[in-house]
């Protein structure tokens, strides 16, 4: 009898909490991870883009329309990162809470200092997917704090009864992140100035924070695949620059990067640039733990 009563009460508690929680949909798992830190048990987070997918070209499955229809909050990176796939999903979701002017629509890039903002007229004829500047800013962990602040502000606005809770979680997240940033910078310090090449301009913020120098990209322009002759033109230049590492996201084809790395005498690293990029990268902290460790281990061996 006691057990039965206990179960009934637990079910009631579970039902009430489920209704009270903010339903948060994040475009990317990194934003989702920080939303979980800030929102704690007051939010339920669903992520659209997988850690093993290209954030510019997400497979916008129809099931996401249902997810967005139920959302209280939509969190997107902005700077046109998701422009190819998110607006049509939001359009089909018929949910006034997450339309662009609604309080439930959070664009995280608002307060971020974007790198590579074009100064001249924008020419999209070649399909550059970074027309407003580089949108891969979550790879600077200092920007993680700006993201957390935006999320705490949005959650507090929509659920003011728990505002103090969200702000306290934000502070805990920031303190933990600050400690980790010191740790990561210390690990990377001996390798300051190391030259690397990347596939896409995904690692500019990471490089800037941790003192790597990006000497070139496999893509001739963001979002444009290279021709064999373009790759061959890169070889002497990158070799001359003394590039030590070629960094490639998990979802890229590996054949061309392997060829390039071999030709210039560099090491190829598959570097997750999002939470979920591999099974070890489970949250925003382990993303940097993993990537920093990979780079440090590779450069230690190269010495
Ligand atoms: Zn990009």
Residue with tokens 């590996």: 254
Residue with tokens 């967005």: 68
| Selection from 33, 61, 244, 47 nearest residue 141 by Cα | 33
Rounded CA-CA distance 87/299 in Å is 41
The rounded percent of the chain whose pLDDT value lies above 70 is 92
User: For residue 284, with 0-12 CB atoms within 10 Å meaning exposed, 13-18 middle and 19 or more buried, which class applies?
Assistant: buried
Ligand 1 center–CA 137 separation, angstroms: 10
Q: Per-residue pLDDT tens for 171-207?
A: 999 999 999 999 999 999 999 999 999 999 999 999 9
- pLDDT at position 126: 65
Ligand 1 center–CA 223 separation, angstroms: 7
Residue with tokens 């704690």: 40
Q: Quick check: 55 pLDDT over 80? A: yes
Q: Are 208 and 136 within 8 A, CB to CB?
A: no
Q: pTM of the full predicted structure?
A: 0.92
The residue length of the chain stands at 303
- pLDDT at position 94: 97
- Listed in sequence order, the residues at least 6 apart from 45 whose beta carbon sits closer than 8 Å to its beta carbon are 24, 25, 26, 32, 35, 36, 39
Tell me how crowded residue 101 is: count the other CB atoms within 10 A of its CB.
6
Ligand 1 center–CA 204 separation, angstroms: 10
Task: Please state the rounded mean pLDDT for residues 253-277.
Answer: 97
Ligand 1 center–CA 162 separation, angstroms: 35
- pLDDT at position 125: 67
Domain architecture of the chain: domains with CATH: 8-112+128-179 (3.40.50.1980), 183-302 (3.40.50.1980)
- pLDDT at position 122: 72
Ligand 1 center–CA 127 separation, angstroms: 11
Q: Are 201 and 134 within 8 A, CB to CB?
A: yes
Ligand 1 center–CA 57 separation, angstroms: 10
Q: Quick check: 221 pLDDT over 50? A: yes
In whole angstroms, how far apart are CA 114 and each of 36, 57, 60, 123? 24, 21, 26, 19
Lowest mean pLDDT among 3-7, 78-82, 274-278, 283-287: 3-7
Ligand 1 center–CA 135 separation, angstroms: 6
Q: Are 199 and 266 within 8 A, CB to CB?
A: no
Lowest mean pLDDT among 14-18, 71-75, 161-165, 195-199: 14-18
């Amino acid at each position: 009898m006691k057990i039965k009563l206990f179960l009934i009460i637990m079910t009631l508690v579970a039902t009430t909490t489920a209704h009270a929680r903010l339903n948060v949909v994040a475009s990317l798992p990194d934003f989702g991870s920080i939303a979980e830190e800030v929102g704690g048990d007051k939010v339920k987070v669903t992520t659209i883009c997988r850690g093993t997918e290209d954030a510019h070209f997400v497979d916008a499955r129809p099931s996401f329309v249902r997810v967005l229809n139920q959302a209280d909050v939509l969190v997107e990176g902005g700077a046109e990162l998701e422009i190819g796939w998110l607006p049509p999903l939001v359009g089909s979701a018929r949910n006034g809470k997450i339309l662009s002017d609604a309080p439930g629509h959070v664009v995280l890039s608002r307060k971020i200092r974007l790198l590579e903002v074009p100064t001249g007229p924008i020419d999209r004829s070649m399909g550059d997917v970074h027309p407003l500047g580089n949108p891969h800013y979550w790879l600077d962990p200092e920007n993680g704090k700006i993201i957390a602040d935006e999320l705490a502000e949005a959650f507090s606005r929509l659920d003011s009864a728990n505002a103090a809770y969200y702000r306290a979680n934000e502070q805990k997240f920031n303190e933990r992140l600050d400690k980790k940033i010191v740790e990561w910078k210390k690990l990377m310090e001996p390798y300051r100035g190391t030259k690397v090449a990347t596939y896409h301009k995904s690692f500019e913020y990471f490089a800037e924070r941790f003192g790597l120098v990006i000497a070139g990209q496999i893509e001739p322009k963001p979002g444009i695949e290279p021709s064999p002759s373009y790759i061959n033109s890169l070889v002497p230049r990158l070799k001359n620059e003394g590039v030590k590492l070629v960094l490639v996201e998990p979802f890229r084809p590996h054949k061309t990067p392997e060829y390039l790395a071999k030709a210039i005498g560099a090491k190829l690293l598959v570097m997750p640039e999002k939470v979920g990029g591999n099974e070890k990268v489970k949250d925003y902290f382990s993303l940097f733990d993993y990537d920093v460790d990979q780079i440090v281990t590779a450069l230690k061996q190269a010495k």
